[in-house]
Amino acid sequence: MKEYEGRVRLVFKDFPLPSHALARPAHEAARCAGALGRYWPYHDRLFAAQPAFERDALVRYAVEVGLPREAFARCLDERRFVSAVEADVAQARDLGIRSTPTFIINGRPLVGAHPVETFRTVIDEALRAAR
Amino acid sequence: MLRVVNGARVTSARRSRVYTISTAWLLALATLLAGGADARPASELGADPTMIKGAPAAPVTIVEFSDYQ
């Protein structure tokens, strides 16, 4: 992102796969972190910690990134963002997305984990087309 | 592209079948994104502002559908 500062924005969408039992609470937890002002640090913490997403671990990561334990735990336990996560999942299904990660770069789908060079190529093409 | 999508070596017979499935899927997805069911840019499809990083006026938007696990 730094390389393309001012030229690229990233939108993260939740798409927990049904086969990953602990993924959905992790996505809901990230939404709680966002509501409390620390979405991206928590997001990065989750990727570093995968797949250790038991409830107590999710709360511990929140504290590690500077979130208030009680407020975060309440949000998580009340499942405040269950419908928001489900809305992203439904949107993914509507778009025909079946696997993760799936990227859409100015409308162009890129499926799977790719080398950074592939992203540079696609982004550079999108930048040229946007001129 | 197909090797990237599937990320693994496959036999020639299997590759042919995977090619057909993947191409159909990508065409369907591209059609949707090009203005089928919803012509809005993907960046505007109900994204939570806290889950967006980067300049709002950036000419390129990457939408990532991902799974933490």
Q: Of the candidates B43, B51, B64, which has its C-beta nearest A103's C-beta?
A: B64
Residue B58 lies in a domain: no
Q: How far apart are CA A130 and CA A123, in angstroms?
A: 10
| B contacts of A7 (beta carbons < 8 Å) | 55, 58-60
ipTM summary value: 0.94
Confidence check: pLDDT of B17 > 70: no
Confidence check: pLDDT of A78 > 50: yes
Q: Which DSSP string corresponds to A20-56?
A: -TTHHHHHHHHHHHHHTT-HHHHHHHHHHHTT---HH
Tell me if chain B has a CB within 8 Å of the CB of A123: yes
Confidence check: pLDDT of A126 > 60: yes
Q: How far apart are CA A115 and CA A121, in angstroms?
A: 10
Residue B45 lies in a domain: no
pLDDT of residue A74: 98
| A contacts of B21 (beta carbons < 8 Å) | none
Closest chain B CA to residue A21? B69
pLDDT of residue A91: 94
Q: How far apart are CA A72 and CA A29, in angstroms?
A: 8
Question: Using alpha carbons only, what angle is made at residue A80 by residues A75 and A86, rounded to the nearest 5 degrees?
Answer: 135
% residues pLDDT > 90 (chain A) = 96
Tell me if chain A has a CB within 8 Å of the CB of B25: yes
Confidence check: pLDDT of A104 > 90: yes
pLDDT band at A131 (very low <50, low <70, confident <90, very high): confident
Q: Is A118 in Cβ contact with B63 (below 8 Å)?
A: no
pLDDT of residue B69: 87
Residue B50 lies in a domain: no
Tell me if chain B has a CB within 8 Å of the CB of A48: no
Residue B14 lies in a domain: yes
The mean-pLDDT minimum among A53-62, A88-97, B34-43 falls in: B34-43
The count of domains in chain B is 1
Residue B8 lies in a domain: yes
Q: In this complex, how many residue pairs, one in chain A and one in chain B, have their CB atoms less than 8 Å apart?
A: 164
- The residue extents of the domains of chain A are 16-96
Which residue segment(s) compose the domain that B26 sits in? 2-39
